[in-house]
Structure 1
Amino acid sequence: MAAPPQNKLLRVGLIQDGQIIEERHVRRDTVTIGHDARNTFVLPAAEDRPARFGVFEFQGHQFQLVINESMRGRVNLGSSDVDFDALRAQGLASRRGELFVLPLQESARGKVELGDATLFFQFVAPPAEEARPLLPSDIRVSRWKTMDRVFFGILAASLLLHFSGAALIISAEAPKEQELALDQLDDRFVRAIIPQRPAEPARPITAGPAEAPKEEAKAPEPKEGDDKPTSDKPAGAAAAERHAEMVKKVSGKGLLKMLGSKSDGAGGAFQDVLGGASGGNDIAAALQGAGGVGVANEVTTAKGTGPRGGGTGSVTGIGELGTQGGGKVDLGSKKEVEVKGRVQDAAPEVDSSEVDRDALARYVRARKGAIQSCYEKELKRNPNLKGKVVVRFSITPTGRVGEFDIDENTLGSESVASCIRAVIRAWVFPFKPDADATVSYPFVFSPTG
């Protein structure tokens, strides 16, 4: 059967040396004691006193008294007054692991002895809410009588006028804008759309020191012996004559003159370069020492009316080019330079008595190789890398790492700090503190050799 809801408040007071040090009224919260600053009552640290212990727990609409084997005190249950030894021996308090739990009624009261301090508790009625004083009806004045009626009327008229104008504007149809043609635009808009390009100044022609100014080319006057196009000739015949005349003039100048010339009745410049009729054989003999190179077979001229240079033939592939007599060069095997670093640690700082510093240092030294690996990775890139990194992290009640931060990094390498953060976050410590324990751990890095 569920316990009836409690309407009274739990009054808990802390007494030391016969004086009330602190008092709290609790409605539905858990009352805790210990040397942790987050407790309801903060007590000095002691060997038999944990950092955080819940004395009164609120569960199922009812407060419960929680005690252990070593706690002393008395409880008045309304009809009887029993001590904690009787509660544990007679089974009045139900067992929950190593603790004993006693549900409390609103009539219960008692005390809990905690060495040099004592907690007393009882249930009290909540304080009545003070009623607001009301003035007599003949003195009370309504808000309508105290309001400035002239100001209210002006405000109402202004709001009505503004809202009416806004409604008319929204309901009115938007006017249609007439599109203008380009010739209807004003001149200033035309100048803005099509900017006028400024006239470029004429560039003066300067003659070089060894070159005289050339006269403008004049059309050559036709001679008497030249053929003059007459109106009776067709246009195609005149164009053919002009093309033949142009070819005759160009063939005697420049590279075409050199390629077309002949010496001693022999071939032209091509024969001087490539040899005589047996030039192909000479080239084949010259290329015999090169491996992997073949010469194309003789091209047979195709019969017919095809384009010049046409024919069929087979071409030998180049294959893999190589030279005779080449030796092998052994460059040796590439070896990576081995870089070693040294990691030294000092005694850590721990703000909790539940975590042994020596045991924590042994745990970290056994896993220092992973942190040394983080340092040696960056030491290969920077052989002069050395410095100190101080990390601060918290150990949660589950043994894992909670908050993590870098307090000091004279090493100057964010990559090493990030690698250390990833390594430490993967650790699971053998310590199980009641609350988060903060640890400050220094590492000093230096290269060896």
Structure 2
Amino acid sequence: MAAPSPSKLLRVGLIQNGQIVEEHHVRRDTVTIGHDARNTIVLPASDDRPARFGVFENQGQQFQLVINESMQGRVNLGSSDVDFDALRAQGLASRRGDLYVLPLQESARGKVELGDATLFFQFVTPPAEEARPILPSDVRVSRWKTMDRVFFGILAASLLIHFSGAAIILAAEAPKEQELALDQLDDRFVRAIIPQRPPEPAKTAAPGPTEAPKEDSPSPEPKEGADKPSAEKPAVAAAERHAEMVKKVSDKGLLKMLGSRGAGSGAFQDVLGGASGGSDIAAALQGAGGVGVANEASVGKGTGPRGGGTGTVTGIGELGTQGGGKVDLGTKKEVEVKGRVQESAPEVDSSDVDRDALARYVRARKGAIQSCYEKELKRNPNLKGKVVVRFSILPSGRVGDFEIDENTLGSEAVASCIRAAIRGWVFPFKPDDAATVSYPFVFSPTG
């Protein structure tokens, strides 16, 4: 069976209600039918027809008709028309699985019945290509005539000048710069490197030995109050005001009691200074509210012994004095705070996540939740309440969306810490879709 000429086209059309509603001319592509939008001819959906079926295939520059067991139609093989049943029964079409394939020659034509529509096909000679119109020579215009000659001349001259200048610069030898010594630098560089001293005031020249002071014109004596420059007057006045202010405040309040300022004697001045203890501390602290002095008479009342010389420093519990003026406050101890975390049964909206296994997984990591609570419990010992978190478990086992549904603790720090802890968990569950979990935690202090 001769193969059709490659120059011929396969004409395929769709007939509905006796009219051609769609037509295609195909050279090499496969023609498909069905309700899929990617088909060559789109048909309404049908139970006995797949979504995409290749009814004409191009194999080796030859089209082949492909039919199945249920398709009906006729094809002209040159001498007579043969229906599809005869093609299948007489073996004119080769079998390929559940399909039958019939090579088509260039004279073949026929139709394929598709229910309420009919598909027809035939080979046709492609229409001759129309010759490209050519204008007459007297009408055609060359590019040189349509070009702006002034612009072209300016552009050519500019390019010539710029490229010539660049070539001259590249060909010329670079000038050699003479290195300068430090003493040959400009003065402005020297001033930037070495700071200049301010000019000194001019000194008055001393009288020469030949010049004798004139006795007949003695200099007038300066008046009282004019012997000092006027610039020193503000400094002297400021010093006098400062001394007067120090004198006023030295005999008042705490400065008088300490005795470190002013002329009056104080209790601490006698103790810490070089005095021999002649001043009375009780007299110095007289009038100060809430202050009392322990002396020999008040400490040694009754039958208790009294010290008669130098004694030793006595510790009070873990507090004691060490050295001169230093107080040992003992070892710092941090109060241990404990909290209790109780979790209730979680709510899971997916059967892919086992509720008991989820509770065991969270219970094994309850220490991180308890740590978040105890951290804030140190700041607020009365902190207690309930936090309900809602999160989703992704198919990868990681945490997706996370929300705080309820927080009666009133502490955003605890909620943020719980959010950070749970987001780092990887659950052993692999749900098909994101599974939402609601998990309550009840916090209360212990002890």
> What is the TM-score normalised by the length of structure 2?
0.47
For the pair shown, the structure with the greater C-alpha radius of gyration is 2
> What is the TM-score normalised by the length of structure 1?
0.47
